[in-house]
A and B are shown apart, each in its own frame.
Chain A
Amino acid sequence: MSETERIRVLVAKPGLDGHDRGARVVANALRDAGMEVIYAGLQQSPQMVVNAAIQEDVDVVALSILSGAHMTLFPRVLQLLREQGAGDILVTGGGIMSADDMAELQRQGTGRLFGPGTSLQEAIGYIRAEVEQRRAQRG
């Protein structure tokens, strides 16, 4: 994979939460920043997210969860990705999460997680840097 290859991101709303303002704004911003965005939309089970991530060969899975189910859904996605040999995909996201919960999820293997008030530039910059680093590590 060359460094100039466009970053591919799957943006999805796992679980039952329908509040998609954040996910859609981020999807627009990542696309405008030159990334390839696949928007899976609402009511995606962890299995559906993982299937789409593998099928679309993405670098990043970006999940938006505002319903409080993040401590169930993020670990499930991480686990399924690892089981399918796709543990190298960056799992990041945002929503209504306490700092304690974010720290615990990162300990379990997510990338950075973002709360309300995050600037788009910060999220874009993070994804770009993280994907480049992971690509470099893979060689």
Chain B
Amino acid sequence: MAKTNDGLDAARRHKAAVESAKTRTADFTTLSGERVDSLYTPSDIADVDYERDLGVPGEYPFTRGPYPNMYRGRMWTMRQFSGFGTAHESNQRYKYLLSQGGTGLSVAFDLPTLMGLDPDDERAEGEVGRCGVSIASLRDMETLFDGIDLGSISTSMTINGPAAIIWAFYIAAAEKQGTQRQKLRGTLQNDILKEYIAQKEFIYPPSPSMRLVVDTIEFATREMPLFHPVSISGYHIREAGSTAVQELAFTLADGFGYVEASLARGLDIDEFAPRLSFFFNAHSDFFEEICKYRAARRIWARHMREHYGAKHENSWRLRFHTQTAGCSLTAQQPENNIVRVALQALSGVLGGTQSLHTNAMDETLALPTDKAAKIALRTQQVIAHETGVTNVVDPLGGSYFVEAMTTRMEQQAEEYFRKIEGLGGVVAATEAGFQQREIGRAAYRYQKELEARQKIMVGVNECIEPEEDVAIPLLKIDMSTERHCRAAVADVRRGRDSKRVERCLRELKDAARGETNLMPTLLECAHAYVTVGEAAAAMVDVFGAYREPAVF
């Protein structure tokens, strides 16, 4: 047999060799259940054209990275998501994180705020300040950033249903500090589609929610050139149990949904597309994750240029934030989570992330303690400064396996796009529960694989320590936070001009009934100390509230 360089011969020899070799009884699939071969050769990437499919970093289709010299030019932003209790308590934590070398803030809100409820709403009972900070009005936002110059930091805010209201509080707080809105840098999550699909923190039905998202995109495009109004998020889709391909496909499909809604508003694609950014999960299957990020960049670039006709490079360039997978952490032997997080973070860096949050080891049990949060940040600093992985751009590019898997994930995502299109587009597919069912099935399948020990979690179904006493300190949030926040919002209501508040809320409802952009009205509300609950309720009066059908 003649030896060739296309790898076919090598692949044949390998196949023959492993047929007679001993093979362990184990599951040789990815975390998402995708079969992988034991060896990849040039024959697996015969269809990959270097210039067409890879190119150089910073150039279309950006497979190898969004910027030419990547981390040599700029290190990723070490952005630790945090927030708890009162605005004052979170303000202290932010000052601490900034003093420890953190380079951006990322605000976690509590559930009442995320659902557009004031802390003294009866539905908020027991939830105030628990999984994030309680922000009821501009007053809390002023306290949250007291002593922090909003003109000199960038702030990411994880808020979706009431994103436009909270953004108005933020802009108003900056204006009261003397910083013009044009100078503000940061990101709103504001990805409502993934709320219906995965995280389930929605207020209004999909259609008015999409209008609010486009209002923020339009407002940012006109008035806030440094702000990213939407962070299109796969993180929560993955946490809800999706596979890597589902995370990739459903997230990018949501992105296309926002692009189409903005185009329908009459916005110019090259004016708004550069301000869309992404947020992905970093789960435990090292190579699958790296390929996911590479595939995401290529898919976005191709669709933006070929399908939507964007002309500018910045519209094709996908940039993303990464957070390590909360759902991969174990309550058992929690210190092991430090290792999981380090490996996941490394996959995000090798995949070319622009910013990174590393989870703390104690987060399956409670919000992180200061110590656990610091170790998580140090993990990023070790990767950045000690491992050498920042020296070379896309160091795994050209790996037969990595390129083959990147291409396969792109193809699998394209199949999902066709299915979603066939259901009438992403909003219709979401309303029909398509993505929710796909994710639910994947989550249940994975849990059954764990039960059958086809998939292993160390400390959970292997390497178990039955008598383990989990003795790590946990952060406790007592009921005094809730009492404090209730009293504070009552105080705000007493101290403001109630006539102005009534007028603002009336104008908000009128604007919601019409078609004008709601941001200017919401800014008026913010400056009048209208609360998040009042503003959200006014819009519910017009838009209605959404309840999803209870299916499992």
Contact = CB atoms under 8 A, between A and B. Distances in A.
Interface residues of A, number: 37
Residue picked from B124, B329, B440, B477, most chain A C-beta under 10 Å: B440
B552 A42 contact: no
Contacts of B240: 19-21
A11 interface: yes
B124 A16 contact: yes
Interface string A1-38: 00000000001000111111101110111000000010
A96 B366 CA distance: 7
Size band of the interface chain B makes with A = 35 or more
A99 interface: yes
Given A116-B364, A120-B451, A69 B127 contact: yes
B427 interface: no
A18 B439 CA distance: 15
Contacts of B477: 68
B130 A67 contact: yes
A96 to B, nearest CB: 7
Given A96-B364, A98-B365, A68 B447 contact: no
Contacts of B548: 41-42
B457 interface: yes
Given A73-B126, A121-B451, A42 B550 contact: yes
A24 B446 CA distance: 13
A25 B443 contact: yes
A20 B202 CA distance: 14
Contacts of A23: 552
B362 to A, nearest CB: 10
Do most interface residues of chain B lie in helix, strand or loop, or is the interface mixed?
A: loop
A117 to B, nearest CB: 4
B127 A39 contact: no
Interface in A68-84: 68-69, 71-73
B443 A67 contact: no
B45 to A, nearest CB: 35
B365 A40 contact: no
Contacts of B444: 24-25, 28-29
A62 B449 CA distance: 23
B281 interface: no
A54 to B, nearest CB: 18
Contacts of B221: none
Contact of B112 (A16, A39, A119, A120): A16
A43 B552 contact: no
Contacts of A21: 239-241, 327, 443
B332 A69 contact: no
Interface string B518-551: 0000000000000000000000000000011111
B175 to A, nearest CB: 30
B88 interface: no
B125 interface: yes
B200 interface: yes
A87 interface: no
A45 interface: yes
B111 A17 contact: yes
Nearest to A65: B126
B123 A16 contact: yes
Given A39-B552, A119-B461, A24 B547 contact: no
Given A19-B199, A28-B444, A117-B332, A68 B127 contact: yes
A50 to B, nearest CB: 15
Contact of B111 (A27, A67, A98, A99): A67
Contact of A27 (B114, B199, B200, B552): B552
B470 interface: yes
Contacts of A97: 365
B461 A68 contact: no
A40 B550 contact: yes
Interface in B188-229: 195, 199-202
Nearest to A115: B331
Interface in B453-490: 457, 459-461, 470, 474, 477
Contacts of B448: 120
Contacts of B552: 11, 23-24, 27-28, 37, 39
B355 interface: no
Interface string B114-150: 1101000001111100110000000000000000000
Contact of A43 (B195, B332, B459, B547): B547
A15 B126 contact: yes
B124 A115 contact: no
Contacts of B461: 119
Given A15-B126, A28-B444, A98-B474, 9 more contacts: A16-B111, A16-B112, A21-B239, A21-B443, A37-B552, A67-B127, A115-B365, A116-B331, A119-B461
7 contacts: A16-B111, A19-B199, A24-B444, A68-B366, A72-B126, A96-B365, A117-B332
8 shortest interchain CB distances as A-B pairs: A72-B126, A41-B550, A18-B200, A68-B130, A69-B126, A27-B552, A16-B111, A24-B552
